[in-house]
Structure 1
Amino acid sequence: MKITLSVIKADIGGFVGHSDSHPECLCEADNKLAKAKQNDLIIDYHVTKCGDDLQLIMTHQKGENNTDIHEMAWNTFVSCTEVAKRLKLYGAGQDLLADAFSGNIKGMGPGAAEMEFEERISEPVVIFMADKTSSGAWNMPLYKMFADPFNTIGLVIAENMHQGFKFEVHDVKDSKKIIFSTPEEIYDMLVFIGAPNRYPVKAVYTRNGEIAASSSTQKLAFIAGRYVGKDDPVCIVRCQGAFPAVGEVLEPFATPYLVEGWMRGSHWGPIMPTGVADSLPTRFDGPPRVIAQGFQLSQGKLVGPRDFFADVSYDQAREMANKMAYMMRQHGPFEPHRLPLDEMEYTTMPQVSRKLAERFKPL
């Protein structure tokens, strides 16, 4: 049975500030998707949140980039924005950068990760969702999952993984893409994906072309031409069999790593794995959060979720992230806590530079 798994998210208003999603917005989204399921547009769905981002997880048989699915998601976000406006939530509708739907949700503000595949006898998937960070935040964990034998022992001892994987990497500034084969092109690939702001990993495939992972690479600042909030990306990863085991897919998040985002999208900070209930970025609007929801697919039905990062085995990761957050915060407006100037072009920095331009004199 060929299934499409679509994860589409948007920040349609924060409760309170940028810290959480209001229950009424979640309820409105659930009502809209229940109606879509009743009308046979989708097979199944799950509505959740990560911080102030509304997450729509859907299965259907209409393929990727389907107009009907994307329009339904857009209309759901519009309806939830009306709820957010009524409740005077902060930044109501901030990710909806277009006035009306125009055929595909990509390029309109919301983030989307999708994949189409033939459902296996057992089809476990993990869906990662983040808040207060940018597209490209999945580069390091995806590398560890699919190319690092110190993380994924299956690359060494599992015959069906030993040949490696292919990584689709996007250049989001010049709108180009490239495919790297691992392990033989690891060093070349790291030159690029080590700069996740420009070169996010869009997808990972087996060597015979079967989809293994898909992420959202939309950059709000590039779409809007100004800072309107962080991208807060999503990522889908298939597990077991020819893919890494569930535990190998989750393992990269046991060690916090630095991502760009946090307060006003202008700082480096540690990404903290939490359960859904704790995905509440509050300290300096952070630190950035990541949740992991696990499902078994059965004829397109979403059996789950398992709230993986609610597990106590990630307590040390959260403690480490808090210690890293304290260290980074001591730098205040100084780098390396604040992003470098060339990545601050969508903040107030350009206006300040123009205002003071004539006061700079030659040495």
Structure 2
Amino acid sequence: MSVSATTEEAAGIAELEEIYQHSTARKLTLLGVLFILLIVIALVATATGVAGITVADVARVILSKIIPGLQLSTVSDLAETIVMELRLPRIFLAMLAGLSLAGAGAVMQGVLRNPLVSPFTLGLSAGASLGAAIAIVLGTSVLGSAFIVAGKYLIVVNSFIFGSITMLLIYGIAKIKGAVPETLILAGVALGYLFQAGVSALKYFSDNEALKDLVVWLMGGLWGASWETVIILFPIVLICLILLERYAWDLNALGSGEEVAMSLGVNVDRLRLVTLMLATLMASSTIAFTGIIGFIGLVAPHVCRFIVGSDNRFLLPGAALMGAVLLLLADTLARIVLAPVEIPVGILTSLIGAPFFLFLLLRKKHQYW
């Protein structure tokens, strides 16, 4: 090989490295912008509502809690109570739910290599709905009478267990027939219809009060927000997202096809099982507290894919942040658009998400994988 050829090759490698570093820096900057945008929206959302509280008041209250001994006499006790006990828990729950549902949707789309997959379309939400319906209508838990002592968590635990069972059944069916993406998706659709039939039957046989509670839960909302809920969800969502990020390179390899991934040493079956279980744990935990909130897990990964591309190292955290932004905006709008009447956020996400998703599909000029 001549000296000139070696020099040209080195120059080409250096140019590629520069392009890669520039692309990485750009994507990290976009993630940083998303994070800052989320913080700003959270502050504005906390100040937004029937009671007149400014963003400055919100900042003062939060600072007084973060910095012990800081005295802020300009903040009234009423404002502090509204911020700390009513609005902030709801804001945090909205962000956690958005992070969870969008992150799970991005992982499911990547693992199954299908842009239409989400916790909602895979039947996970339908399974959680059946669990909640059993708790609301029959007043019983799948864990038996020993659990009924913690009655306020009856719906939460039932919906979580049924959501998790759904994914285990889906994977079990796919394992019997061969764990290919098509089998997983079709199994999810079939189980979704089965569980929806169970929910419909429970609606039919329920009394008026139970029917009302079930319908409200199925609409999806953040009414049950509390610091207790946030404390339970936060470690689950954070740990699942961190663990899923560790599989980003394997998901990138799988995006090029199963054969390519296996040739690079990726255990495809194990990757599917672990990532789908982590995504299910994260999404089921959230659905158990919020009810059915559709389209966040479907739309947010697509929006982020247009922004940062399909590299899962950036797509997974980006989709999670985008989901938090979208759900926080939707919940804030749901609180104020007909104030003091509150619209269930699940209705609003579907009303906004469906046409927006169709718009994205019509504008799409390239394949995702």
Shorter chain as normaliser: what TM range? under 0.3
The structure, 1 or 2, with the larger RCO (C-alpha pairs under 8 Å, 6+ apart) is 2
Q: Which has the larger radius of gyration?
A: 2
Q: State TM-score, norm by structure 2.
A: 0.26
Q: State TM-score, norm by structure 1.
A: 0.27
Higher strand proportion (structure 1 or 2): 1
Higher helix proportion (structure 1 or 2): 2
